[in-house]
Each structure stands twice: as structure tokens, then as C-alpha cells.
Amino acid sequence: MTTTTAETRAAAPLVRLTNAGKRYGNIIALTGIDLEVSGSEVTCVLGDNGAGKSTLIKIIAGLHQHDEGTYEVEGEPVRFNSPREALARGIATVYQDLAVVSLMPVWRNFFLGNELRKGPAMDLARMRRTAKQELLDMGIDLRDVDQPIGTLSGGERQCVAIARAVHFGAKVLILDEPTAALGVKQAGVVLRYIVQAKERGIGVVFITHNPHHAYPVGDRFLLLNRGRSIGYFAKNEISLAELTGLMAGGAELEQLTHELQQAGGEDSELRQVAAALEHEIAELGVGAAPRSDGPAARDERPSP
């Protein structure tokens, strides 16, 4: 698995986890996870709350170390001791809280910690111009980079944080639930942005619990449940309906339908909801989704 010769390294994915796991004391937070992302590729990590998504990001980002399996960056096994080390290898993480300072102007936020200097001072003109241009290149047309970043919408803030990571040399972007707190339209803006990053040759690890956000932009899908992989698919192996069905956990949905039907014996509205749910489950084809954890699904690159 450890590919160290020069030619195989060139072909190796930017980030590859093999059979990775993490324990906190006697709690198994994550086990047997395989994941890879190459340049110009989006790997989506899907799972409900507590599925182990955060632990997975923390391993990739260098906040935590894996206890099992291997973590390779461009074919080379690594063990990061801090996010700075991961960043030095081009792995940048955009956390849910975005790491922006709301009262500060957009351009100051953009360069925070990486200010351009001209002698003892900052090169204000170039910083403003660069921030504006970089955001424009990624499709965000800000009215004024001098406005406090807190006045931007959630989606725009997310985009600034992503653009910043891209500008400062990220090869792999880890996005922690970037669409979670956003409305439909704003989420669309962020998704478009993820595609932009991908087209620039960046590998993206997109963490979400929403299959409708993941499916249109993703090339691979890793589904997590209770710290384990419940499926790892290339895009051509799975449909949105199947993905949604797997995510929702078919058995649980059926149980819910059943309960609703019982509770709604005298309530016509509840009965309607239950019926609609039943219909949806049938449409999604829950249970029919290919649950392949096998190496075939794992190692096959999706054909373009």
C-alpha cells in the first residue's frame, strides 16, 4: 500500500486513508475507514450527527492522529501533530465557524495571519485588490471588500473562507458542513463554489449530512454511521435516490411511518404525512442500494 517510488507517487491521490481508525480511550470513534481524494475531485463524507464525521476531519486536518490504518499524502505515509503541519502539506480546513472575525473588513479577514507586507507596513492596496480579484475569480462579486465580513450572508462568508484557503495554496480543501446553516439559495452558492475549486485542480473533502447537496458535486461518497463506513461509492455506482435512502436509514424510516400511522389513527393530517412518507420510501428504493464495502467499489476510479 505504501507507494514511495517517484512514479507511483505522481499518480497517488492527494489524500488517502486506508483502514483508518481512532479511539478516545476505550471509545471507538472511528474504525475501518477508507477514503481518498485526488486533484480536481470531490469526495463527500455523509453521515448523521455522531457518525464520526468530525473525528474524520480532525484526523485529516492534523488536530488528531489516527490510531489504526494509514494516512498518506501524495503517497507518503504521514502523521500530523498540528494543523500547521497539515497546512504546510497543502491540506486546509474550513471549519463550520469559518475562522473569520465578523467586525473586520473582508480584505483584512482574507489576509489575516498572512498579511502582505511592504517594509514595516502592510501593502494595503495590493491586499484589497487581491482579495477582490480572488473572490471575483471564484465567482463572488462583492460590492465592497471594506465592509465588515459580519455583514455578508452566511454563504458569502463561507465562500470568503474557502477562497482564502485556495489563495494560500491549499491543494486539498476540507469543508466541514459548509451548507449546514444555509438556506437553499445560499447553499447553492457554496456548492457552485466547491465546483469552482474542483475545476482549479483542488481536491475537496466535503462533509455534509445532506445527500441533495453532496450528490450533484461529488465524485465519491463515503457514508458513515456510528463510526463505521456503511458504503463507499463512486458516482456511477449510486443514484441520488439510493444515496438518500442509505443516508436516511431505510429501516428507521419505515419504523417512523408505522408509528405515525398508529398515532394518527384519528388525526387525518398525521395519516397523510405517514402515507406521503411511505410513498417516498417506495420511490427511493430503500434497501435496493448497493451496499458495497468491497475493494471493487473502493479502488475503482469513476470513469469520466
Partner 1 sequence: MSQTADVGVKPPPPRDERVAQRSLLSRLLTRPEIGALVGAIIIYIIFFAVAPPFRDLDSLATVLYVSSTYGIPAVAVALLMIGGEFDLSAGVAVTSSALVASMFSYQFTVNMWVGVVVALVVALAIGFINGYLVVRTGIPSFLVTLGTFFMLRGLNLAVTKLVTGNVGTNDVSNIQGFESARKVFASTFTVGGVAIRVTLLWWLLFVVAGTWVLLRTHIGNWIFAVGGSAPNSRAVGVPVNRVKIGLFMTVGFLCWFTGMHILFAFNTVQSGIGVGNEFIYIVAAVVGGCLLTGGYGSAIGAAIGAFIFGMANQGIVYAGWNPDWFYFFLGALLLGAILLNNWVRKRAEAMR
Q: By the criterion CB under 8 A, which residues form the site for partner 1? A: 83-84, 95, 97-104, 108, 111-117, 120-122, 124, 126, 129-130, 132-134, 136, 141-144, 147, 151, 167-169
Cβ-based neighbour number of residue 174 at 10 Å? 26
Provide the residue type at 218 as one letter: G
CB 168 → partner 1: shortest distance, Å?
6
Rounded to the nearest 10 degrees, what angle do helices 250-263 and 240-248 cross at? 70
Nearer to partner 1, 200 or 279 (CB): 200
CB 40 → partner 1: shortest distance, Å?
17
Helix locations, the chain, DSSP H: 6-11, 53-61, 83-88, 106-111, 124-137, 154-167, 184-199, 211-217, 240-248, 250-263, 268-284, 295-299
Pairing, β 172-176 against β 91-94: parallel
CB 192 → partner 1: shortest distance, Å?
19
Cβ-based neighbour number of residue 272 at 10 Å? 12
CB 151 → partner 1: shortest distance, Å?
8
Nearer to partner 1, 101 or 181 (CB): 101
CB 146 → partner 1: shortest distance, Å?
9
Cβ atoms of 108 and 115 closer than 8 Å: no
Nearer to partner 1, 117 or 185 (CB): 117
Cell numbers 514595516 label which residue? Answer: 120
**Rounded distance between C-alpha atoms, residue 275 and residue 159, angstroms:** 40
Nearer to partner 1, 144 or 259 (CB): 144
CB 276 → partner 1: shortest distance, Å?
42
Nearer to partner 1, 5 or 117 (CB): 117
Nearer to partner 1, 36 or 134 (CB): 134
